[in-house]
Structure 1
């Protein structure tokens, strides 16, 4: 039997008041979370620059590097669900602060790695520390924003990946080019030190800056809190007709969760190419100066950021997710195929990487609007983390496979084709396996 609508009037506030409230939320919440994600993603992928100097110092082959990159996801997978359930129980400020302080500390300690085994251990530890940040923030945003706003909000947060690629590439290239031998440290040691410590500081700030939920936000007026809570209540009612349960066990029994997990599984395959081999692809295309590699590596992320924002704006305008996700998956698959099939100079490589970035950032941002449209309560906390954890198996397997293929063949072409096929299959799984009728979202202005 369909439940009665909650006793709220979402039209009691004017459009101007609603816009002003969400503008206030956007300015208070998003910039800080965005900044934290930029720091975290730089700490996760700066190894792609460090290994240009790092690998020969500790005797690391491409296959061993790919394995170490993938081992990050072991700890990430193990601790992701507990971390998200802890966020729901103890609040975002404690959980996000803990994650950031730990990952910043471990990333900084990477400067002391001297052997491949130490590298493996450090990467696993970094994954354990960072586990739960992305799904935690995705869950946290559902406490503040109704579904009709989430593609735009999520895209602004996911934009942190692009900015980390732009800023991280330029900064990492500069550090590697200019700080070798300063105070007796190697350039890659300076990289881990200077890019790890800011995360520790931001983690401390997070504890004092974040509010767990709208009702606890002292920076919102009572009228603004009422607007946010009314929008969320109306949104929850729109989903109630199709939800089968709100518990974590309900999420475990929901087959759509596993379809979503496969859709998310393929995204790290594209991310692995961009995040961990992008600088090497540019260098292999003929750019030998590490500073120039860093600057050029920022270009695809800049182009990708613009494409993602347009994609997600249109998705919110149409309140349509599945076809947008599928088309974005085809875009990244096309760029990956071209990168593997056509052997050209650095201009073409940058172009194909840019196409990949548009698709990769778009599927990443768009994906999280889908499970949050049919999960809520503890089912959302556990279900989002379960999808992310299972999906991160792609992050565990992709770097190892790509690294092995590159070592065995001396080329990345075969690995690129595997990535392209995976993206097409993942896009189809979401399009076919999660029907539009399951996604109950309200269009908002």
Structure 2
């Protein structure tokens, strides 16, 4: 995978930039310019500025090519740094310190330690259940008792602007008895919210749900690219593998949890849960996503409708004693609302390929080579303001040649519109 362009991803985002990226936001990213080493930056309007120049004796945490050390420093340091940034930028970016967003290259802002993907949207899970089990219950019996999830692949989490190579693998065409090998023909997206863990927990020690705020650092936009045909053949009985592990795109800006206090909302009514998941006020976030396909907005998923709280996801992730580390990333799973135009995956938006959507004058179901998908989002800030999250942008490029041992078995598969589907986040 190669990064096509600097992430002027959400490139000078227009007149809204000053409003979406003011002192109430101050997201964290990593940028480089003029061949210099990448360094942690923040953003004010359409200007980026190196953090080390603004935070006094905290500068050593930011004089390195990632946010890793800062994430590991813990909440008191996160709060201190945010206060120093707000003070230093109160009158705008100091002369000589800022660069225009379109002059810099954005990078993956932290080292992804581990990656877990959940399945937290009831609307999404219900829609897929109806697709897969039209005569049965839409939700599996465990769904409202625990946040369902699976462990993904940290090494294939990439920064916005990175090309996505069409994956190859086994897939069994409709009506066939045996699988064939070749490029996926049912390539899909999943519009999600990703959560970045700042400080982790030791092995054998779970994170108490009351302490989640001390561990969660911030939020990114996340597209968990999915090869539905590969996944359909492989996922029973152990779940997704090659159909999901080839690429996950995240936005280059981490919006800190401290900036999202005004965006907290109650999750939709929950059934009673076991004590380790119980919260006095299970909270979600009022984040409004937007899915753009080849320049056309095709969906607006509302994260506020998501059933499980991020706090419940992190508590569940560690309740068995599994450790987390600075830079762990966990995601919501596909975000979908109750209406068709709020569905966050194309398998769902097109009802398994049976109901195409119009994109740039064409009837489309799944992704073709050279298609580009961009996720954007906004959320409420203090005093009626709104926050921006940047973009998670990726373009599909053709599959690479299979290894010599696989070429004899490689066959192109027809574009499928059958309902050989699979349940996924």
TM-score w.r.t. length of structure 1: 0.24
More strand by share: 2
Higher relative CO (Cα under 8 Å, sequence separation at least 6) belongs to 1
Greater helix content: 1
